[in-house]
Amino acid sequence: MDNTKYIFNREGVEEDVPLEVYKWVATYKDGSELKQFDKETGIFHQVGEIQQDKLARFTMICTEEEKIKHTISVPEGAKIIHKYNRYVFNAKRPDEIKLTIYIFGYKIGGHHHFNFILPDGNIVQNITGEIRAEDGKWVY
C-alpha cells in the first residue's frame, strides 16, 4: 500500500495528485528513470516532462500489484502517447460506475500504436486510438 502524498507543482501552486490504478515509468537509454509517481520525492510528473529523444522503454505498472507491468520499447524518433479515457456510466444514479481506460503507445512517422489497459486488466491494441463502450462491451 503506497500512502505517499504526491504533489504536482503547477507554476508555484501545489496540487495533490491521487494515485492511479496504473502508473508509468519512463526508462532512458542510459538506464535512468523518470517515474510518474516518484515515491522517493513525493513528486508527480506529467508525461510532458519525459525527454522523448532519450527514451528507451515505457512501462505501465499496476499500483496495487507492481509485478503486473506492461512495457513497450520505444523506437528511435517516436513520441510517447499517454492519456486516460474516463467513463461515468449511469451518471448521477445510485448505480453510477466510474471506469478508466489507460492508453499508452507512441507515434512515429505519421503512424500510431495504441495500447489500452481495460478496467478488467486486459490489454488490447490498435492503430486508430478509437475505443468505445457499446452494449456493455468495449469496441476497438
The binding track of 65-94 with respect to another protein, each residue x by CB under 8 A or -, is: -----------------xxxxxxxxxxxx-
Shortest distance (Å) from residue 61 CB to another protein: 15
Residue 6 engages another protein in binding (rule: CB under 8 A): yes
Residue numbers 23-52 binding another protein by CB under 8 A? 36, 44, 46-48
- 124 lies in the site for another protein, by CB under 8 A: no
CA–CA distance, 140 with 24 (Å, rounded to integer): 23
User: Residue 8 or 66: which CB sits closer to another protein?
Assistant: 8
Specify the residue, 29 or 124, whose C-beta has the smaller distance to another protein: 124
Q: Beta 37-38 vs 43-44: how paired, if at all?
A: antiparallel
Residues that bind another protein (CB under 8 A): 6, 8, 10, 15-18, 20, 36, 44, 46-48, 82-93, 98, 100, 130, 132-135
